[in-house]
């Protein structure tokens, strides 16, 4: 069926679900799974489109297109973030929901896969309009959401404050007082310690667990694409661990310093100026040059389809760690595997976010509040264990870490479906 939004979105974003299905196809060449099981995984359980009317500050009514895709709940309630972005459309959300189902299975948490979004540029909305949109998204979907049914969380451009509005709206409609319908809330509204930095912190634990076998040096040079929640926290964590972060970028462009950027100062600089460009001691760099920078570790932390068959041969890193979802296309993935450049896949590398979201959900339901130390100890244990299992699978089947992670996830989901 022709997608009505196809004309409106860039081709590379439109391909995300196709890419996810290609990955599923690749794993079937490495390990035998039931045909019926795979047929089921090629479609989400439910794929909902909504329209959200918002009364704008100038008095006009604007209708926004929103989505919730519930992909698979074999392991537990659907779980997955909500993205507010002008390019967001249903196929991107479907891909992200599919990856989320696998991600929960890779880290062994009792949650299924879901994802949501709204096609909107939130930077063009006032705070009041953004709140109305966020509450409107929940009003349209309140029947299918719930602590034991479907539990959303933040993703690109959605913040703890937005999560608090959404939880509040759900509570008003249903009377729910647990707050466990949504995770990534601010601390004083039932959020978990550590959730803000969990995605990057989780990526770091996975990196530490695999560093030796990937033959990475003690001090790595690091290039990071994207300077939002995932990317800026990663820069801070790798910097504080003694590594040299030489390039970072955001949607306006990147900066480079071969001796390493002073990340704490850069975070202050970006906060006060709103840009990375012009930071003392750095040179501006384009996104394409960023990907071609010689380094030990490249961390894509922005969007899908950044490393493709057209630029993959320029990549000069020893290892890629995917903090973004789907930044490497299946074609580029194959080339990187042949070139012996390991890719630590998104469904393992960025699973720290959903793992701490699960901890938040558990704390809300048990009416507990855990210390950051406890949260990160639990996270580290979960990710050390998953990283080792993924690596063992990859070695056993002589395949990539991505395929190792897919095998682990699919075996766990299949066992529950049977
Ligand atoms: P965010 O909105 O906080 O940040 C996105 C960043 O990417 C911004 O700095 C933006 O300027 C930058 N960006 C946009 N286009 C770019 C481009 N072309 N080149 C370089 N930078 C660009 O979003 P986030 O939460 O950090 O999410 C980033 C990625 O991480 C997404 O793929 C998301 O799905 C994934 N992720 C996030 C979480 C989480 O907990 N936030 C969890 C798992 C995965």
pLDDT in tens, 278-318: 999 999 999 889 999 999 999 999 988 999 999 999 999 99
Contact 199, 233 (CB under 8 A): yes
Taking only the tens place, the pLDDT of each residue in 4-19 is 333 334 444 447 899 9
With the most atoms of ligand 1 within 8 angstroms of its CB, the residue from 201, 231, 247 to mutate is 231
Q: Whose CA is nearest to atom 31 of ligand 1?
A: 324
Residue with the two structure tokens 């690091």: 222
Which pLDDT belongs to residue 418? 64
Q: Is the CB of 328 under 6 A from ligand 1?
A: no
Which pLDDT belongs to residue 189? 96
With the most atoms of ligand 1 within 8 angstroms of its CB, the residue from 276, 303, 379 to mutate is 303
- Nearest Cα residue to 97 out of 115, 84, 112, 82: 115
Token pair listed for 340: 């012996």
Longest dimension (CA), the chain: 62
d(CA 117, CA 325): 15
Sheet strands side by side (includes 317-321): 283-285, 253-256, 244-250, 221-225, 295-300, 317-321, 343-344
C-alpha pair distances (Å), 230 with each of 179, 197, 225: 24, 7, 10
| C-alpha 157 – ligand 1 centre gap (Å) | 8
d(CA 253, CA 241): 25
Contact 207, 321 (CB under 8 A): yes
Question: Which of ligand 1's atoms lies nearest the C-alpha of 306?
Answer: 18
Q: Is the CB of 228 under 6 A from ligand 1?
A: yes
Q: Whose CA is nearest to atom 15 of ligand 1?
A: 251
Q: Is the CB of 251 under 6 A from ligand 1?
A: yes
From the centroid of its chain, how far is CA 121? 19
Question: Which of ligand 1's atoms lies nearest the C-alpha of 327?
Answer: 32
Q: Is the CB of 249 under 6 A from ligand 1?
A: yes
194 φ, ψ (degrees, to nearest 5): 85, -10
Which pLDDT belongs to residue 5? 34
Contact 166, 182 (CB under 8 A): yes
Low-confidence ranges of the chain (pLDDT < 70): 1-14, 418
Token pair listed for 201: 């912190």
Q: Is the CB of 350 under 6 A from ligand 1?
A: yes
Q: Is the CB of 159 under 6 A from ligand 1?
A: no
With the most atoms of ligand 1 within 8 angstroms of its CB, the residue from 302, 323, 358 to mutate is 302
Contact 254, 225 (CB under 8 A): yes
Q: Is the CB of 116 under 6 A from ligand 1?
A: no
State the catalytic residues: 115
| C-alpha 397 – ligand 1 centre gap (Å) | 32
Q: Whose CA is nearest to atom 36 of ligand 1?
A: 324
């Amino acid at each position: 069926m022709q997608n009505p939004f196809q004309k409106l979105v860039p081709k590379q974003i439109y391909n995300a679900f196709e890419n996810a299905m290609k990955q599923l196809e690749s794993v079937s060449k490495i390990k035998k799974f039931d045909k019926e099981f795979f047929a089921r995984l090629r479609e989400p359980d439910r794929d909902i489109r909504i329209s959200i009317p918002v009364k704008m500050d100038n008095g006009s009514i604007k209708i926004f297109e929103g989505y919730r895709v519930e992909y698979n709940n074999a392991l537990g309630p659907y779980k997955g973030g909500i993205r507010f972005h002008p390019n967001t459309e249903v196929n991107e959300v479907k891909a992200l929901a599919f990856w989320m189902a696998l991600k929960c299975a890779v880290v062994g948490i009792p949650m299924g896969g879901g994802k949501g979004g709204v096609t909107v540029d939130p930077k063009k909305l006032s705070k009041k309009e953004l709140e109305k949109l966020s509450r409107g998204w929940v009003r349209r979907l309140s029947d299918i959401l719930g602590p034991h049914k479907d539990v959303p969380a933040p993703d690109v451009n959605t913040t703890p404050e937005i999560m608090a509005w959404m939880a509040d709206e759900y509570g008003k409609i249903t009377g729910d007082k647990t707050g466990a319908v949504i995770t990534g809330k601010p601390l004083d509204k039932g959020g978990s310690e550590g959730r803000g930095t969990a995605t990057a912190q989780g990526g770091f634990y996975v990196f530490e667990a695999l560093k030796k076998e990937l033959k990475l040096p003690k001090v790595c040079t690091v290039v990071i694409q994207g300077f939002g929640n995932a990317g800026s926290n990663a820069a801070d964590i790798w910097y504080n661990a003694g590594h040299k972060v030489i390039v970072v970028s955001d949607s306006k462009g990147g900066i480079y310093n071969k001796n390493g950027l002073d990340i704490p100062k850069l975070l202050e600089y970006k906060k006060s100026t709103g840009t990375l460009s012009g930071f003392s001691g750095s040179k501006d760099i384009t996104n394409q040059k960023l990907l071609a920078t010689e380094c030990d570790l490249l961390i894509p932390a922005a969007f899908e389809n950044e490393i493709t068959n057209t630029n993959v041969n320029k990549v000069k890193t020893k290892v890629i760690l995917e903090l973004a979802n789907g930044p490497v296309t299946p074609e580029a993935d194959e080339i990187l595997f042949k070139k012996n450049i390991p890719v630590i896949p998104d469904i393992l590398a960025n699973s720290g976010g959903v793992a701490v979201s699960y901890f938040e959900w558990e704390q809300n339901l048990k009416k507990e509040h855990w210390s950051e130390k406890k949260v990160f100890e639990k996270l580290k244990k979960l990710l050390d264990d998953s990283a080792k299992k993924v690596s063992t699978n990859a070695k056993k089947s002589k395949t990539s870490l991505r395929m190792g992670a897919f095998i682990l996830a699919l075996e766990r989901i299949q066992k529950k479906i049977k």
